Amino acid sequence: MADKNHISVLIADDESAMRNLLAAVLKSCGYANLVHAANGQQAMDLLRGTDPSLKLAFLDIDMPGFSGLEVLELARQARPDCAYVIVSGHSGIDNVISAMNRGAAGFVVKPYTPQKIADVLAKFEREAS
């Protein structure tokens, strides 16, 4: 298992309250290196950046600029070693299937619960080890 202290996690959501809530849950699970994006373009810039420790990204579907699904599709080419989790208030089966078909490692429906996030992190940690 990779050391949580050496992994950066991207939180991309246009709602600051959602970013802060997810950040609090991630910190409680031991992830301290968090980077935030308020829209799809910021998320793309960070994912195209040079930080080699960026290994996990939570992408909201509904963001200005690029949607989370568009970021997922573009970013997987730029950073294939990162695990992408789509988050959305809309859990329609079309969104879930679309996310998984594009290579998402998981899908979390808002509002977040610590257990939902812990489940996704457990899957990520198993696959990263």
Q: Does domain 4-128 correspond to CATH entry 3.40.50.2300?
A: yes
Asked if residue 86 has pLDDT above 90, the reply is: yes
Residue 23 has pLDDT above 60, yes or no: yes
pLDDT in the model for residue 2: 55
Of the pLDDT bands very low, low, confident and very high (cuts 50, 70, 90), residue 1 is very low
* pLDDT exceeds 70 at position 68: yes
- At residue 104 the predicted structure's pLDDT band, cuts being 50, 70 and 90, is very high
**Distance from C-alpha of 111 to C-alpha of 129, rounded to nearest angstrom:** 28
Q: Where are the alpha helices (DSSP H) in 1-129?
A: 16-28, 40-47, 68-78, 93-101, 114-128
Neighbour order of strands in the sheet with 33-37: 33-37, 8-12, 54-60, 83-88, 106-109
pTM beyond 0.85: the answer is: yes
